[in-house]
Structure 1
Amino acid sequence: MGFSFAEITQLLGSFWWPFVRISGVFMFIPIFGDGAVPRKARVLLAFFLTLLVVPFVEMPPTIDPFSLQAVTMTMAQLVWGLLFGLTFQLLFTVFTLIGQTISMQMGLAMAVMNDPANGVSVAIVGRLYLFLCTLLFLAFDGHLVALALMVESFTIWPIKNGLAMASVWMVIKMMGWVFASAFAIAIPAITAMLIANASFGFMNKAAPSLNVFALGFPMTMVLGLFALFISMNGINSLYFDILLEALAFSRQYMQGGT
């Protein structure tokens, strides 16, 4: 039994396009897209997941694999997957930004540690929040929800639809949501540190002979740790609310940004 070139092309296309989209997702999505996960492991995971997904994916139109249209479709699916993973990665960015902000207010902006997984330097407090965010993400089965949404995306936004500019614009608008969410959680600690710094200023005016610089740093550290403890209060419910908002953004992205 022989196969025509068109049938072989359609068969390869039915596997290639989902594989490109899933590979793009695994480049950015939390946990699976972490730098500590080897690239070969991510490629193999994308390959086997594609084998499971292909039977349920709507057959894309037959496209000549050596045409410009095939290159355009490949790039569209890759970018679609990258942006979908980014919608979840921005959730972690919220908590990293919280830690960075509190570190600056505590005078620990220079206290950073290397993140070997992502190859960047992160503030110690930011690393603490990132670690907490990762644990809560796993506790709420966020990684399983992300995979389920990725599989569901082939039904909600088929491969033939390409990439909608409304979806790209929605991801850009998520940047504002990141800053707003981080500020809303960090504002108690920021307010406490601003009051402390203002108090040191009044002390310096009232008693110029008092060495505020010698007393200010350790007191700022103690107040900063206390403010950090306050900001941690109720973090579970706040995290759950932010996670629901991130999932809503992801579903909106899957629907073409509408």
Structure 2
Amino acid sequence: MISFSQDQLVAWMSPLLWPFVRALALFMAAPVLSSRAVPARAKIGLAFLVALGCQASLSGQPVVGLDSPQALAVLLQQVFIGLAIGFAVRIVFASVELAGELMGLQMGLSFASFFDPVSNAQVSAIARLFTILVTLMFVAVNGHLLLVVALVNSFQVFPVDAGVMQAAGQLQIHRLGAELFSTALWIALPMIALMLFVNLTLGIISRIAPQINIFAIGFPVTLAMGMVGLVTVIPLLDAPILAALDRVLALFGTST
């Protein structure tokens, strides 16, 4: 009769369990994969498949049993790191959406907002457009595969142990807030400069010819120039998005 000891079962399960938990936390927070359109069973199955497929490159990981005193701390570490990877990539999406909000505000389209069931919030039309574009670009550059690579590489940067606070201090997630605003301003800066020039020109015209109803011609001119600016800016989105994605994935030992 074939029998297995508890130590053997722990040695078999531990290398698979902790990558599975980290991958599942990633898929619950990462863009596209965390969408409500993706069933929970599909996320669980995909996380198990990724954890099983990366076993060949995760040799030498420590064995931590479920009955070990460190099991809870290790579980929290895996959930934290998985959520951190997803949150870092989501920062890139949020920065592009913020850039769209800034552009819409400058164009006078901030009132053209509607409820977005995906983000569960009110977003402007320009922000929604930019969100769709960055999602398509993310899939086009194999961003979903980069997430898997970042997950596997994260075990080299943050191995399985009980160092939850050490991982939090090393990641410094709070600095990603500055990344959000800097990337958003980088993307929206050409449009902001264009709209500033248009508003300055309209202001000069209103001073030179007071009989012109500047409010009647200001919105059509601003909207038309904004559309011209969008046509110019949208083809250039790949450079700042890829640069921001490269910076956030570098925290986990991955580059685009």
Bucket of the pairwise TM-score, normalised by the shorter protein: 0.7 to 0.9
Q: Contact between 1:60 and 1:160, CA under 8 Å: does it hold in 2?
A: no
**Alignment partner of 1:114: what SS?**
strand
TM-score, normalised by the number of residues in structure 2: 0.86
Q: Aligned runs of 1:147-162 on 2, under 5 Å? A: 147-160=148-161, 162=163
**Partner residue of 1:223?**
225
Partner SS state of residue 54, structure 2? helix
Whether the 8 Å contact between 2:92 and 2:244 is mirrored in structure 1 is: no
Identity %: 30
Structure 1 residue matching 2:70: 3-state secondary structure: helix
Displacement of 1:124 in angstroms is 1.0
Write the mapping of 1:163-178 to structure 2, written as runs, cut at 5 A.
Answer: 163=164, 164-169=167-172, 171-178=173-180
Assess if the C-alpha contact under 8 Å between 1:28 and 1:85 holds in 2: yes
The equivalent position to 1:189 in structure 2, one of 170, 174, 191, is 191
Q: CA deviation at 1:246?
A: 2.2
Aligned to 2:38: 37
For residues 160-206 of structure 1, the C-alpha deviation after alignment (integer angstroms, 9 at most, x for no partner) is 2644233331x321221221122122111101111222233333334
Aligned-pair distance for 1:66? 4.3
How far did residue 156 of structure 1 move?
Answer: 4.0
Cα drift, residue 131 of structure 1: 1.6
What letter matches 2:246 in structure 1?
L
| Structure 1 alignment gaps of length 5 or more | none
Secondary structure of the corresponding residue to residue 148 of structure 1: helix
* Matched position secondary structure for 2:114: strand
Give 1:13 shift: 2.5
Other-structure match for 1:75: 76
Q: 1:111 to 1:195 in 2, by over 3 A?
A: same
Instruction: Tell me by how many angstroms 1:101 deviates.
Output: 0.6
Question: 2:182 is matched with which residue?
Answer: 180
By how many angstroms is 1:118 displaced?
2.9
Structure 2: segments with no counterpart, 5+ residues: none
Give distance in 2, aligned partners of 1:166 and 1:43: 29
1:1-258 pair list within 5 angstroms: 1-58=2-59, 60-66=61-67, 69-160=70-161, 162-163=163-164, 164-169=167-172, 171-236=173-238, 238-239=239-240, 242-254=241-253
Aligned residues: 251
Please give the alpha-carbon distance, in whole angstroms, between the structure 2 residues aligned to 1:162 and 1:66: 18
Q: Answer yes or no: is the 8 Å Cα contact 1:6–1:62 preserved in 2.
A: no
RMSD: 2.4
Q: Does the CA contact (< 8 Å) of 1:204 and 1:210 recur in 2?
A: yes
Comparing 176-185 with 61-70, greater Cα deviation is found at: 61-70
Cα deviations across residues 108-159 of structure 1 (Å, max 9, x unaligned)? 1121233323323321111111222122222222222221222232244321
Distance, in Å, in 2 between the alignment partners of 1:247 and 1:198 is: 37
Q: CA deviation at 1:22?
A: 0.5
Q: How many angstroms apart in 2 are the aligned matches of 1:67 and 1:144? A: 33
How far apart are residue 102 of structure 1 and its match? 0.2
Structure 1 residues 45 and 64: CA distance shift in structure 2, 3 A: closer
